[in-house]
Amino acid sequence: MAKKQLSVIVVPHDDSRTWNLRFSYRLLYTFIILAAIGIIAAVVFTFNYGRILVTAERAVLLDRENSRLKSQVAQIDSLKLELINLQAMGIQIKGMLGVELSKEDSVLVAELSPDVRSPAIGPADVTESVGEREQKMMLEAVPSMWPVEGYVTRSFHVTGGDRNPKYHPGIDIAAERNTPVRSAADGVVEASRFDDTYGWMVEIDHGYGFHTVYGHNARNLVNVGDRVTRGKTIAFLGSTGKSTAPHLHFEVRKNGVPVSPQEYLLH
């Protein structure tokens, strides 16, 4: 019995030869099945690709919204920290003037932001009662003692940023070589090392956002983690690093920003 076949006749409009194509039904069914599978696959791919595009677009929008919210939170945190710093500065001024801390001031000090606290404020200090202790701690954190006795040969100047040739984030105090360099306030040694610019230098964390830097030392006497008190000898004055004569480069930083040391040093 002859197999059933399907004929497709192609008749050109010109006088060319007529084409007669024959296909078995099995081949036709196979072609139809493959075509159906292809169409279904195309539909499924288009549907899934569309969902992927929608999901990707939604992810981009969420990422933008997340970035916007993070930026707003960062601005709020910055404002909160600035407010805390202003309040803390007000309390420090009260302490320096001998004004007794109010109950509200004591509560504020006890609840200072973690950004303001540091290793210079020990765990025991946090758990103790508030009051005179807070006032004493904050006064001890203010770098008010001259680290060496001598002449200021170069003043504080940060106008125009570090690209300004006159940029100088501290003061230079000239004195004899090997003059004892003393800590300007109570704190914890955060760095004691050699720096290409500062030479042998010491950095102290005093808490409440205060850091001091002592550069161009002949020799350091303290190590990282040492707890020091105001007036303790931490180094000997020298001329190491980028220095042309014996002197101490002294910096005060408040929340990471250089400030004029002479605003805090008692004359």
What is the per-residue pLDDT for 186? 92
The structure tokens 């030392």 sit at 217
Question: Which residues is 214 bridged to in the sheet?
Answer: 202, 250
What is the per-residue pLDDT for 248? 97
C-alpha distances (whole Å) from 231 to each of 38, 159, 262 are 86, 31, 17
- Looking at the predicted structure, is the pLDDT value of residue 59 above 70? yes
pLDDT tens-digit series, residues 115-172: 444 555 555 444 444 456 666 777 778 898 999 999 999 999 998 888 888 999 999 9
How do the residues of the chain divide into helix, strand and coil, expressed in percent and rounded to 5?
Answer: 40, 25, 35
Q: Distance (Å, rounded) from C-alpha 166 to C-alpha 170?
A: 12
How is residue 163 annotated by DSSP? G
- Looking at the predicted structure, is the pLDDT value of residue 24 above 90? no
- Assigned CATH for 151-263: 2.70.70.10
Q: Name the more confident of 266 and 20.
A: 266
What is the per-residue pLDDT for 221? 96
Domain positions in the chain are: 82-141, 151-263
DSSP string for 208-228:
TTEEEEEEEEEEE---TT-EE
Question: Which residues is 210 bridged to in the sheet?
Answer: 207, 254
Contact, 135 vs 101, CB < 8 A? yes
What is the per-residue pLDDT for 259? 92
Q: Which helix (H) or strand (E) holds 58?
A: helix 25-96
pLDDT over 90, % of the chain: 39
Contact, 181 vs 233, CB < 8 A? yes
At 246, is the secondary structure helix, strand, or coil? coil
pLDDT tens-digit series, residues 209-257: 899 999 999 999 999 999 999 999 999 999 999 999 999 999 999 988 9
Rounded mean pLDDT of the chain? 80
- Give which of 218, 190, 188 is closest to 203, Cα–Cα: 190
Q: Which helix (H) or strand (E) holds 253?
A: strand 247-254
Q: Which of 38-42, 85-89, 127-131 has the lowest mean pLDDT?
A: 127-131
Cα angle value 110/90/209 (rounded, 5°): 65
